[in-house]
Amino acid sequence: MINEAIKIEVSNLHKQLHHHNHCYYVLDNPEIPDSHYDKLLQALQRLENQHPEIKTPDSPTQRVGGAPLKKFKAATHLLPMLSLANAFSSEAVQSFERRLQDRLDGHFNPETQTLHFMAEPKLDGLAVSLIYEQGVLIRGATRGDGQTGEDITHNVRTIHSIPLTLKGDNIPPLLEVRGEVYMPKASFEKLNKNARKAGKRTFMNPRNAAAGSLRQLDPKATAKRLLAMYCYSIGKTEDWTLPTTHSESIKQLKHWGFSVCPENKVVTGIQACLDYYQSIGEKRASLPYEIDGVVYKIDDLNLQKQLGFISKSPRWALAHKFPAQEEMTLLETVDFQVGRTGAITPVARLAPIFVGGVTVTNATLHNMDEIQRKDIYIGDTVIVRRAGDVIPEVVRAVPDKRPPEPQPIIMPTHCPICSAEIIQLEGEAKARCSGGLYCPAQAKQAIKHFASRKAMDIDGLGDKLVEQLFDLTLIQQINDLYQLKTEQVASLERMGEKSAHNLIQALETSKQTHLSHFIYALGIREVGESTAKSLAQYFRSLDTLQQADSETLQSIDDIGPIVADRILYFFSQQHNLDVIEALIAAGIQWPTPEKTPNEDDLPLQGHHYVLTGTFSSLKRTEAKTKLEKLGAKVTASISKKTTAVFAGKKAGSKRTKAEKIGIKISSEADLLALIGEKQEN
């Protein structure tokens, strides 16, 4: 027998955990630190272990996944799951409107003939149906053939943005909800990066990864892959009256605790639909999930009813698709490119192909393991994928179209640029040129990195100019930059006296830097901006850093044995030490970084901020530095960890996003108060 006090404690823990899960995964606005959430979950887990009979299917502990299944059961949908008719051009969208007007003649605003639509991004995921009885999730199913799918309840329970119990009131005794389960781009990239590192099979796209993850018999495997769901319609309900519009039913879903896409918008008339398509298309690359088009739905549910269905698609909805992101073309040959750290990347040279809105002739093949796994040969017809701004990649070969004598792809033994030996260290997926900074390809990339904004920030020294200076042998390594003369630069093609003078001036200005920028600019493998900052803060002098041993390096937050090895290796190379000496001799200097007080004493420790727009009293970079000095983290994009967004004048999409997901927006005055400064008048 479980006593009443335990029952109350369990119920309280359920409530708290459901609430904080909703804040974190649906609202993107956590109220407590992760460690606090973990403690609550552990407390519940302990009670469930002591009293197994109190464990219920809607317990927040079920998110981690229960025992594996032997096979999937069939799941019949309460109402058929429909598919959408597709359109690939504005003309097809305009005919959709004409068809609607003809069918609805006289049944809607006859004066203006305008219709209200809900426009929504079309997520590239997997359609899923959820059933709730008395507000508790009892079943999740894939679409299958629209009538019957597979029962994936055990897996949907592991998806944090799916409520296990509904919030609020007016909950129908039976509710069926439809939506798309998807894998956020960041999770997909992480999954594939880890698979590539471990020499395992990669997923072709986030959709396949989401499908593969949902169709796991072992829910623990699903729980590890970070999936999410946006809901887009209500299916069957009992004893409940639907609202009069689709947009209101979406609002209702949100109140019950479901996650709905923040880009959804009610628009009037078909031109507004086309404008929406255009604006979502422009945003597509920056959205954190893959979409393959947008969906337009008549907003008025009565009109939807009148329009009905044709075959398996509703007449009241249309999917307006973006141009395909995957196309087939011929792999003509393979070249090997050398990166900044010597990594050799096989690059496919392709017969030109129009994909994702641009003509592509090159695509990455990543590394040799990947080529072997994908079984790709020169002469193959291959599938090329270009998603957003990401470098196009060869996804796979089409075996049926293989020529009789395909040519194998062979990694050269020596660097195509400097002829140094190519080596591949055990456990590394990439082969590397051993030429170091003597390899012109590596040196060029190293100079570009050195000059970049977050490194030495040499204004006007872009990639093209570095190429030009390098190819004319005016610079061969980083330190040569500081020997450049105005006349040499002015003699370059498309370079006048004035631009040359400006560049020399920018080089001079860059000599006054910060230790963290200098460390980052050196281009040590695995040392990004944030690690460089940690190193500068810890050692406060380059000499001390150069003399540090592995143990000392590893005592710094976020430095593990691999990064420590990279740093030790860099400073063990005489040519690197020579470059550093020459740079310092040229006059590069920095103030000694201030001693960092004990982390726990910093007032903004654990707070994450985003800065957007322009401020009248200080630059964004200054505000960033000041917040960081107080222990805060300042990030470029809004995430679930963001404490607040400081919005200056002309704050754009970040402010809108923060408003949409309910993150606190603070003013310049709040910012100044926080960093202890007065506002200028």
**Residues with a known catalytic role:** 122
Total binding residues for ligand 5U1 by CB under 6 A?
13
Q: Is 82 in the site for ligand 5U1 (CB under 6 A)?
A: yes
In contact, 407 and 413? CB cutoff 8 Å: no
Q: How many C-beta neighbours within 10 Å does residue 310 have? A: 9
In contact, 444 and 473? CB cutoff 8 Å: no
Binding mask 171-210 for ligand 5U1 (x = CB under 6 A): -------x-x------------------------------
Q: Which two tokens stand for residue 5?
A: 């006090």
In the complex with ligand 5U1, the residue whose CB is nearer, 48 or 290, is 290
Phi, psi (degrees; rounded to nearest 5) at 29: -145, 75
The Cβ-side half-sphere exposure at 287, using a 13 Å CA radius, reads 22
| Total residues belonging to the chain | 681
How far is the CA of 643 from the CAs of 28, 408, 568, 599, 639, in angstroms?
11, 53, 37, 18, 9
Phi, psi (degrees; rounded to nearest 5) at 333: -160, 175
Q: Is 267 in the site for ligand 5U1 (CB under 6 A)?
A: no
In the complex with ligand 5U1, the residue whose CB is nearer, 118 or 583, is 118
In the complex with ligand 5U1, the residue whose CB is nearer, 97 or 480, is 97
Q: Which of 225, 230, 206, 226 is nearest to 326 (CA)?
A: 206
Strands 309-310 and 126-133: unpaired
Q: In whole angstroms, how close is the CB of 191 to ligand 5U1 at the nearest point?
A: 23
| 491 contact partners, CB below 8 Å, separation of at least 6 | none
| 508 contact partners, CB below 8 Å, separation of at least 6 | none
The Cβ-side half-sphere exposure at 280, using a 13 Å CA radius, reads 28
Q: In whole angstroms, how close is the CB of 82 to ligand 5U1 at the nearest point?
A: 4
Strands in 265-268's sheet, in edge-to-edge order, are: 86-87, 317-321, 291-298, 116-123, 265-268
Residues 108 to 147: which contact ligand 5U1 by CB under 6 A? Answer: 120, 122, 127
Three-state secondary-structure class, residue 651: coil
In the complex with ligand 5U1, the residue whose CB is nearer, 83 or 424, is 83
Cα gap 357→599, rounded to integer Å: 48
Q: Is 225 in the site for ligand 5U1 (CB under 6 A)?
A: no
Q: In whole angstroms, how close is the CB of 620 to ligand 5U1 at the nearest point?
A: 35
Q: Which two tokens stand for residue 461?
A: 């020294």
DSSP code per residue over 363-397:
EE---HHHHHHHT--BT-EEEEE--TTSPPEEEEE
Residues 283 to 342: which contact ligand 5U1 by CB under 6 A? Answer: 295, 314, 317
Give first-to-last CA distance, the chain, whole Å: 69
In contact, 624 and 636? CB cutoff 8 Å: no
In contact, 494 and 482? CB cutoff 8 Å: no
In the complex with ligand 5U1, the residue whose CB is nearer, 122 or 566, is 122
How is residue 479 annotated by DSSP?
Answer: G
Binding mask 565-584 for ligand 5U1 (x = CB under 6 A): --------------------
Q: In whole angstroms, how close is the CB of 346 to ligand 5U1 at the nearest point?
A: 37
Cα gap 599→116, rounded to integer Å: 54
Residue position matching structure tokens 């050196």: 522
> Rounded to 5, what percent of the chain is helix, strand, coil?
40, 20, 40
Cα gap 353→362, rounded to integer Å: 10
Cα gap 303→207, rounded to integer Å: 32
How far is the CA of 290 from the CAs of 38, 156, 322, in angstroms?
30, 20, 11
Type of residue found at 430: K
Q: In whole angstroms, how close is the CB of 92 to ligand 5U1 at the nearest point?
A: 17
Q: Contact with ligand 5U1 (CB under 6 A): which of 25, 117, 132, 232?
A: 232
Q: Is 83 in the site for ligand 5U1 (CB under 6 A)?
A: yes
Q: Is 233 in the site for ligand 5U1 (CB under 6 A)?
A: yes
Count Cβ atoms within 10 A of the Cβ of residue 3 and give its class: 0-12 exposed, 13-18 middle, 19 or more buried: exposed
In the complex with ligand 5U1, the residue whose CB is nearer, 83 or 114, is 83
In the complex with ligand 5U1, the residue whose CB is nearer, 202 or 304, is 304
Residues 616 to 675: which contact ligand 5U1 by CB under 6 A? Answer: none
In the complex with ligand 5U1, the residue whose CB is nearer, 309 or 354, is 309
Residues 424 to 463: which contact ligand 5U1 by CB under 6 A? Answer: none
Q: Is 86 in the site for ligand 5U1 (CB under 6 A)?
A: no
In the complex with ligand 5U1, the residue whose CB is nearer, 301 or 422, is 301
The binding site for ligand 5U1 (CB under 6 A) comprises 82-84, 120, 122, 127, 178, 180, 232-233, 295, 314, 317
